[in-house]
Chains A and B, each alone.
Chain A
Amino acid sequence: MAKTDLQGTLDLLVLKTLAQNGALHGYGIVQHIQSASGELLRVEEGSLYPALHRMEQNGWIAAEWSMTETNRRAKYYKLTAQGRRQLQQAEDSFDQLVKGVRAVLRYA
């Protein structure tokens, strides 16, 4: 099985979110995933930040402090070139996973 687990799924969601929205802070990422999934997916907020920092250490995303529209200081994340490649890979393997799982479920 390719490298796809639940953590991998969170990474995929975050990377995709950042790819679609440019720079976002953690709270914004949570909000976006929730609304874009039609409230189906709820990100465990406490587990988001370790994932963000891990991805930052891996060089997939970059962060900088900036001001929100409501004038709060927040840490904004955006995708790096490496992150874009990682996203491509993660999407591919997720597709594989979905296909595989679906095939198993349909197996009569």
Chain B
Amino acid sequence: MAIFRRIANLMHRSNVDREIDAELESHIAMRIDENIARGMSPDEARRDALVRFGNTTATREHVVAADAMLGIESFWADVRYAWRQLIKSPGFTVTVAITLALGIGANTAIFSSMDAVVLRPLAVPAMDRVVTVFERQDRSGDRSVALANYFDWSRQTRSFEELAVRTGADMSLTGAGDAAHVHAEMTSADFFSVLRIQPVLGRLFVADECRPGRDSVALLNYGFWQRRFAGNPHIVGQKIELDQRTYTVIGVLPKSVQYPSEADIFLPLAPSPQQIADRSDHDYLVNGRLRDGVTVNQAQAELRTIAEHLATTYPSTNLGWTVRIEPLLDGINGDLTPLYYRLVMGATLFVLLIVCANVANLQFARGIERRPEIAMRTALGASRTRLLRQLLTENLLLGLIGAVGGLIFGALYLRLTLVLMPERVARHMSGWSNISLNGRVFAFSLLLALLAGLISGFAPALEALRLNLSDQLKAGSRGTTASARSHRLRSIFAIAQVSLAVALVIGAALMSKGMRAQLHVADGYEPQKILTFGITLPASRYDTPQKQAAWYDDSLAKLRALPGVTHANVTTALPYSDYAWNREFQIENRPAAPGKDQSALDLPVSADYFSAFHIGIVAGRKFETGDSAQSTPVAIVSRRFAVRYFPTQNPLGHRIRMGGRDSREPWVTIVGISDEAKYTLWDQNEYAAVYLDAAQVPPAGATYAVATKGDPLALAGSARRALASIDPGLPLDTLETYRQLLNENLVGLMFAAGMIALDALVALFLAAIGIFGVMANLVGERTREIGVRLAMGARREDVLGMILRRASRLTAIGLGTGLVLAFCLARLVANLLRGVRPDDPVVFIGIAVAIAAIALASSWVPARRASRVDPMQALRSE
């Protein structure tokens, strides 16, 4: 390749010089040889040769210049020339730069956020080697791991370098400011080496600290250290108190690896001998690092073999249990977040395509204006490739200007999303706090800029070069018109813009509609009138069910006494909160069939809960005030529970117990059957539910739901004071309305829908500009013809109609292809997102009509201008 050789020449200038010298010397030597052969003396021969050749130094310089000039030098010349051209038409340049900046900026912002959240949420070296291990049984789906099984695996496996285990717990932090509810993660010491984490301060756990009695050390997650301790650099060595036990902070974990993202504090996992031997309590999460060369499937096959052995050795606990392994990355964000990001990224790239079409359209128009210039340069000897290179250089320069603008725009855009998203998002997304404009993002925008420059510039540049030289020069500086081909191309670009915009707007509208449906699922509960907050009762002070039950009694009584309160209840999970715990349970006198999943949502609630949430009792009775810690514990089961587990019997009067085979929880008697209520928003599984009476089986932590007549948030202060009068040391978590809580669960969808709606708006705007541009240009070129028509007696309405008919044709074709595209897109989105109907006629028709109206409106101005052409002036101006 010539260009590489030229660049290489510049780099190895001395090499080139040497080569040229050698060539010139060999020429002179040959001349000398021949002169001698003709009978000259050697001296004479040499002199003659040099004279004939002329100045060798000057020749060498000329040769070097010939080598280099065409390369880099001419590239810079092109850049300088392009810059001058752009400066000469500032209107065009600014328009294109802003359009490109918009397209590139949006993509830059989405990519940087996607890069941080989905592609590289954790700065873990060789992340593809790190996996999560689950157990599963029957149709249970992925479950956490029993500790004894974990120890057997890690003793027997050959597939893993390291296999770490952890479990989470909610604790209350005291002794440093206000009491706070924190999430602690108890991990084995090798958890950090699986992730290859180095602390930013202090040190990590050592294996010796993972034993009971030696485990009073704590590591802080970066975000928590910032929030709670304001990034105090002297935190190492300080004491903190968790659930009334003192721990020494020994280190802080890095910002770049905040996994699991909800963890605030890490403590050593120091299991007791009973816990180590436990095979029924599936409560632990296992992460491991695969050995080099071992695939996920191989490791899974190996652990499955081990699990089969365990099932034969311990059939009562392990029968039917097998293992599933997935890469860590898959589990970090769940299924939805990467999906949303892909959707948004796709839509935003669509917008960039529309931007390119728009810029191409502007370039076409400009190409026509530039014909005299191009004709002149051709006449002066510039070759086609030379001119093409020149025009493309101009486009690349525009793309780069757009990229600079795009980075600025992208930074603003990112700041905006970071501000608009609730702070708690960081707790659900490991990579959220790492979003930044980094090297990869720069590279990405640069790539987009080059692509956008090429895509938008290639067709117009080729078109600009298709000119008939002599015609052009004859026409001179007079106004010139574009060829039919150029018109066709421009029309195609305008149609493409309209159809892309149609597809995007319909996609966005369908998504928003689906999202609205989700937002309103819980409307029956009047969530805007309900105040919610969480309470966790510390085990040290509330160490008996009596004390816990007394707290709930007292606190609910205080809350109900507040003015304006209609109901006050506790539950472990509110409907649609995705917070309920699906647990195994036992039925008295009916041994669970080994290998069969027998589970239901475990929902301790206060007695008034059913009437507050309009959950009907279809058989038996409600919880009553007579149900207390002293009376027989009772339960109400959902209708689905009754059908699934008592298909042929009446469940009333039977006794069940939550937990595994060795559970020490009390047996409860089923006294009622309730209507279904839905506790999950995204999870499609249909869970059975068991409601327990919080007065009899009080939970260690619960969510309060306080229904009011007025604004629930106005009640927050008095609710806080009321509870502090019972126990001032209890923190209230996330005090908000039920509506806010529901909305937070939809934050991902709202983000995706919002971004796509924004993309759709930009697309619509650009499409309108596109149509306007094409029509305005058409009218401008045909002014003379229109003048003639008017002079010949055409009516102004005819001219208006002629222009509008043409715009309608463009719009109609654009709409047609756009609707087909939108239909495919809608099918795709509907497959991916629940609540989205792909065949919503209202949306399709409504948006098609709206876009047609916008397109026609944007061609109205040029059409009107055409109808007002003054025939005399139009004819005279030529």
Interface residues, chain A, with chain B CB atoms under 8 Å away: 3, 25-27, 44-47, 49-54, 57-59, 68, 70, 72-75
Do A46 and B30 touch across chains, with their CB atoms under 8 A apart?
no
Q: Give the nearest-CB partner of A5 in chain B.
A: B381
Known: A3-B381, A44-B54. A49 touches B26 (CB 8 A): no
Measured CB to CB, the closest approach of chain B to A41, in angstroms, equals 14
Q: Are A49 and B63 in touch, CB under 8 angstroms?
A: yes
Q: B59 at interface (Cβ–Cβ under 8 A)?
A: yes
> Is B33 interfacial (CB 8 A cutoff)?
yes
Q: Shortest Cβ distance from B592 into chain A, in angstroms?
A: 81
Smallest beta-carbon distance A61→chain B, Å = 12
Bits for B8-29, please: 1 = Cβ < 8 Å to A, else 0: 0000000000011011101101
> Which residue of A has the minimal Cβ distance to B58?
A46
Q: Which chain B residues lie closer than 8 Å to A47 at the CB level? A: 59, 62
A26 and B54: CB pair below 8 A?
no
Tell me if A45 and B52 are in contact (CB < 8 A): yes
Contact A74/B54 with A46-B59, A58-B2 known, Cβ cut-off 8 Å: no
Can you add 16 more A-B contacts, CB < 8 Å, to A3-B381, A27-B27, A54-B66? A25-B26, A25-B30, A44-B54, A45-B52, A49-B24, A50-B62, A50-B66, A51-B66, A52-B63, A53-B20, A53-B63, A57-B6, A58-B2, A59-B2, A68-B30, A70-B30
For the complex of A and B, list the 5 residue pairs with the smallest distance between their C-beta atoms, beginning with the closest: A46-B54, A50-B62, A54-B66, A53-B66, A27-B30
The reply to whether B23 and A74 contact each other, CB–CB distance below 8 Å, is yes
Residue among B62, B65, B70 facing the most chain A CB atoms (10 A cut-off): B62
Residue of A nearest to B3 (CB): A57
A44 to B62, CA, bound (A): 13
Q: List 19 A-B contacts (CB under 8 A).
A: A27-B27, A45-B27, A45-B52, A46-B56, A46-B62, A49-B20, A49-B23, A49-B27, A49-B62, A49-B63, A50-B65, A54-B66, A54-B70, A57-B66, A57-B70, A72-B33, A74-B23, A74-B30, A75-B22
Does B55 count as interface, using CB distance less than 8 angstroms? Answer: yes
B5 / chain A contacts, CB cutoff of 8 Å:
57
With a cutoff of 8 Å between Cβ atoms, the chain A residues found around residue B19 in the complex are 75
CB-based contact B2/A45 at 8 Å: no
- Asked whether any CB of chain A lies closer than 8 Å to the CB of B67, the reply is yes
Contacts of B70 in A (CB 8 A): 54, 57-58
- Within the complex, the shortest CB–CB distance from A89 to chain B, in Å, comes to 11
B26 and A72 within 8 A (CB): yes
Distance between A56 CB and nearest chain B CB, rounded to angstroms: 8
Q: Which residue of B lies closest to A45 (CB)?
A: B53
Query: Which residues of the other chain, A, contact B2 by a CB distance below 8 angstroms?
Result: 57-59
Residues of A contacting B55 in the complex (Cβ-Cβ under 8 angstroms): 46
What is the CA–CA distance of A53 and B29 in the complex, to the nearest angstrom?
20
Task: Give the A-B contact count at a CB cut-off of 8 A.
Answer: 71
Measured CB to CB, the closest approach of chain B to A27, in angstroms, equals 4
Beta-carbon nearest neighbor of A74 in chain B: B26
- A80 vs B383: C-alpha distance when bound (angstroms): 19
B27 and A26 contacting across the interface, CB-CB below 8 Å: yes
CA separation between A55 and B29, bound complex, in Å? 24
User: B162 to chain A: closest CB distance in Å?
Assistant: 58
Contact residues, B21-64 vs A (CB, 8 A): 22-24, 26-27, 29-31, 33, 52-56, 58-59, 62-63
Docked pose: A59 CA to B70 CA in angstroms: 12
Query: Chain A's nearest CB lies how many Å from the CB of B55?
Result: 6
Closest to B23 in A: A75
What per-residue 1/0 map shows which CB atoms of B94-135 lie under 8 Å from chain A?
000000000000000000000000000000000000000000
Contact of B67 among A44, A45, A57 (CB under 8 A): A57
B507-537 interface with A by 8 A CB criterion: none
CA distance in complex: A32, B23 (Å): 18
Interface size class of B (residues with CB under 8 A): 20 to 34
Q: Tell me the bound Cα distance from A68 to B34 in angstroms.
A: 13
By secondary structure, the B interface counts as helix
| Contact, CB under 8 Å: B53 / A50 | no
Whether the pair B30, A53 counts as a contact (CB closer than 8 A) is no
Contact of B59 (CB < 8 Å), options: A27, A50, A68, A70: A50
The interface residues of chain B lying within 8 Å CB-to-CB of A44 are: 54
- The residue of chain A having its C-beta at the shortest distance from the C-beta of B59 within the complex is A46
The answer to whether A27 touches B63, judged by C-beta atoms less than 8 angstroms apart, is no
A1 to chain B, nearest CB (A): 9
Q: Which A residue sits closest to B60, measured CB to CB?
A: A49
Instruction: Using CB atoms, name the residue of chain A closest to B68.
Output: A57
**Chain B residues closer than 8 Å to A3, beta-carbon distance:** 381
Contacts of A52 in B (CB 8 A): 63
CB nearest neighbor in B for A3? B381
CB contacts (< 8 Å) of A57 on chain B: these are: 2, 5-6, 66-67, 70-71
Contacts of B67 in A (CB 8 A): 53, 57
Q: In the bound complex, how far is the Cα of B55 from the Cα of A47, in angstroms?
A: 10
- A75 x B52 contact (CB < 8 A): no
Q: With A45-B53, A54-B70 as given contacts, are A26 and B29 in contact (CB-CB < 8 Å)?
A: no
A35 to B377, CA, bound (A): 38
Q: Are the C-beta atoms of B6 and A50 separated by less than 8 Å?
A: no
Q: How far is the CB of B878 from chain A (nearest CB, A)?
A: 30
Q: Which residue of B lies closest to A1 (CB)?
A: B379
The docked-state distance in angstroms from the alpha carbon of A92 to that of B684 is: 77
In the assembled complex, the Cα of A70 lies from the Cα of B23 at a distance in Å of 15
Choose one: A50, A58, A59, A75; the contact of B26 (CB below 8 Å): A75
Given contacts A45-B53, A57-B2, contact A25 B59 (CB under 8 A): no
Nearest Cβ distance between residue B3 and chain A, in whole angstroms?
Answer: 9
The 0/1 profile, CB within 8 Å of A marked 1, for residues 64-85 of chain B is 0111001100000000000000
Give complex CA distance A73, B24 in Å.
11
Partner of A27, one of B31, B54, B66, B381: B31
Picked from B29, B58, B62, B381, the residue with its CB within 8 Å of the CB of A72 is B29
Question: A49–B31 Cα gap in the complex (Å)?
Answer: 15
Residues of the A chain whose Cβ atoms lie less than 8 Å from the Cβ of B52? 45
Chain B contacts for A59, CB-based, 8 A: 2
Complex alpha-carbon distance, A52 and B6, angstroms:
15
| Separation of A54 and B71 alpha carbons in the complex (Å) | 11
**Bound complex: CA A26 to CA B53 (Å):** 12
Q: Is the CB of B62 within 8 A of A45?
A: no
**Closest approach, in angstroms, between the C-beta of B748 and any C-beta of chain A?**
55
B residues less than 8 Å from A26 (CB atoms): 23, 27
Which residues of chain A are near B30, meaning CB under 8 Å? 25, 27, 68, 70, 72, 74
Q: Taking CB as reference atom, which chain A residue is nearest B51?
A: A45
Q: Chain B contacts of A51 at CB under 8 A?
A: 66
With a CB–CB cut-off of 8 A, which chain B residues contact A58?
2, 70
Q: Which of B29, B63, B67 has the most CB of A within 10 A?
A: B63
C-alpha gap A49/B21 in the complex (Å)? 11
Complex: chain A residue closest to B70, CB-CB = A57
Contacts of B33 in A (CB 8 A): 70, 72
Residues of A within 8 A of B62 (CB): 46-47, 49-50
Q: Determine the chain A residues whose CB is within 8 A of the CB of B24 once the complex forms.
A: 49
Residue of A nearest to B20 (CB): A49
**Which residue among B29, B56, B65 has the maximum number of chain A CB atoms within 10 Å of its CB?**
B29
Distance (Å) between the CB of B164 and the closest chain A CB? 61
The distance from the CB of B286 to the nearest CB of chain A, in whole angstroms, is: 62
Hey, which chain B residues are within 8 Å of A70, CB to CB? 30, 33
What separation, in Å, do the CA atoms of A19 and B70 have in the docked complex?
25
**Chain A residues positioned under 8 Å from B71 (CB to CB):** 57
Mask for B636-655, Cβ within 8 A of A = 1, else 0?
00000000000000000000
A50 to B60, CA, bound (A): 8
Q: In the complex, what distance in Å separates the CA atom of A25 from the CA atom of B56?
A: 17
A96 vs chain B, min Cβ distance (A): 14
CB distance from B632 to the nearest CB of A (A): 96
In the complex, what residues of B have CB within 8 A of residue A50's CB?
A: 59, 62-63, 65-66
| Distance between Cα atoms of A74 and B27 in the complex (Å) | 8
Residues of A within 8 Å of B20, CB to CB, are 49, 53
Most buried by A among B2, B27, B55: B27
In chain B, what residue has the closest Cβ to A70?
Answer: B33
Q: Which residue of B lies closest to A54 (CB)?
A: B66
Q: Give chain B nearest CB distance to A17 CB in angstroms.
A: 15
Q: How far is the CB of B51 from chain A (nearest CB, A)?
A: 10
